[in-house]
Chains A and B, each alone.
Chain A
């Protein structure tokens, strides 16, 4: 084990340029993937924030008794899709309108009677904020006798839906492409470093080293390069993130657990690609 470790670390000392180049290449390949994942995560977060505004409003018939409304609220709250039901009385509606629609201040002050109906505002749980569920809940609300009108911005929700599915599809395709490119680049880089030591591998074989013994320092070396590449990639991505969020808009970065996972992925890639590369130099009999 000591020898394995020594041989693996020696590769950095013996071929500092090649090793440095390999780590940098791995870092760039991974940082591009990382940036893409960051964009995807931020986009998803933003879309989720937008989706929070999805709301169904049921306007009530004037004069609907409060106890009827209370019973109905209990029923609605029991819908599996529903997160929250809020009762907005006629007075509260007018109050809210006065507050929010200041440009109509004149109109409001001339009113002798409140023209606004009371309403129930229904918010859906996170997984149900799409057109199909919104429509289904709206239809169910129509079944209440006192519900005069149901509004839920169907068009807007449909557009949001489309945006979400486009983002998911593009994310998947581009993500796979970036991921594959990174794997190929890392694989080629590691292969180059193994190839540079082909002579050593052949000498090891001649003096009677077992396949496992030959493989070990290389896979360890590959794993170390992958880990360093992953760390450097996180650093590069963090720099990019800081630049963007300080000048353009507030974004979010990887959590520590995600960063660790990222470094581990780099390590695993280095490990696996070097194992594959070394095997190419260990010919079958």
Chain B
């Protein structure tokens, strides 16, 4: 479903951010991207949600090659992705409910359909009771749950999570991680970029390690994906 093929990414005045990155992520898969900060984890995610285009090589998402997308097609791609960041990126002057609804409103959803959908995902992340709270009234873990609810509300193919637990204490980290696992269990793929190796060790999910922009380890290398990559 997500395929990187010999992807290089260079930023101006910078060494290569990604070097010859190739991997394939199947539908419903859970994969960790690990590595030190600056290793290229965030760049991989930005290439997935077409915030950046590869300098060379190709990135395919659900059958679309990002470099060939027209500008107006990119929002359509992003509506099929759920994106979560370390800093939550919530609108401070809107309640949890409004933050989640925002993702539906900007995509032109029918007004009547928004309310029930928002409550469904807020319930899923365990925050139905705090629907009317503003971000400042929520803990870090709760804010991240709101962000995950917002990512979920458009029924994405994949959740892209860039260091989602980076700002959270241990307990909140466990909660958010469990939430992502639960979401994955319902069939949504998850890409989780993190440098928290404790998290990685807890499970036997596929792990891709980046170092200086290159893939140095891929635990899924001997899986079916290898055959795909070779093509």
Chain A residues within 8 Å of B, Cβ to Cβ: 3, 14, 199-200, 202-211, 213-214, 285
Contact indicator B83/A206 (Cβ below 8 Å): yes
Which positions 33-49 of chain B face chain A at CB distance < 8 Å? 49
Interface size of B as a range: 20 to 34
Does B196 reach chain A (CB closer than 8 Å)? no
Q: Considering only CB atoms, which chain A residue lies closest to B79 in the complex?
A: A208
Complex contacts, B107 vs chain A, CB 8 Å: 207-209
- What are some 5 contacts across the A-B interface (CB < 8 A)? A203-B91, A205-B78, A207-B83, A207-B154, A208-B103
Complex contacts, A211 vs chain B, CB 8 Å: 71-72, 75
Chain B residues within 8 Å of A, Cβ to Cβ: 49-50, 53, 71-72, 74-79, 83, 89-91, 93, 102-103, 105-108, 150, 154
Nearest 6 pairs of A and B residues by beta carbon: A208-B79, A209-B106, A208-B78, A207-B103, A208-B75, A210-B75
Contact indicator B83/A199 (Cβ below 8 Å): no
Complex contacts, B105 vs chain A, CB 8 Å: 3
Q: Considering only CB atoms, which chain B residue lies closest to A204 in the complex?
A: B106
Contact indicator A207/B91 (Cβ below 8 Å): no
Contact indicator B49/A206 (Cβ below 8 Å): yes
Q: Given that A207-B103, A213-B106 are known contacts, is A200 also in contact with B76, CB under 8 Å in the complex?
A: no
Q: Given that A3-B105, A200-B91, A285-B71 are known contacts, is A207 also in contact with B50, CB under 8 Å in the complex?
A: no
Q: Given that A204-B106, A207-B106, A207-B107 are known contacts, is A199 also in contact with B89, CB under 8 Å in the complex?
A: yes
Complex contacts, B78 vs chain A, CB 8 Å: 205-208
Contact indicator B79/A207 (Cβ below 8 Å): yes
- For the complex with contacts A207-B150, A208-B78, A285-B53, 5 further pairs of A-B residues with Cβ separation under 8 Å are A206-B78, A207-B107, A208-B77, A210-B75, A285-B71
Contact indicator B154/A208 (Cβ below 8 Å): yes
Please, how many angstroms separate the alpha-carbon atoms of A14 and B134 in the complex?
Answer: 14
Please, how many angstroms separate the alpha-carbon atoms of A279 and B205 in the complex?
Answer: 41
Please, how many angstroms separate the alpha-carbon atoms of A84 and B89 in the complex?
Answer: 77
Please, how many angstroms separate the alpha-carbon atoms of A205 and B83 in the complex?
Answer: 11
Point out which of A14, A204, A206, A214 has the most chain B C-beta atoms below 10 A from its C-beta: A206
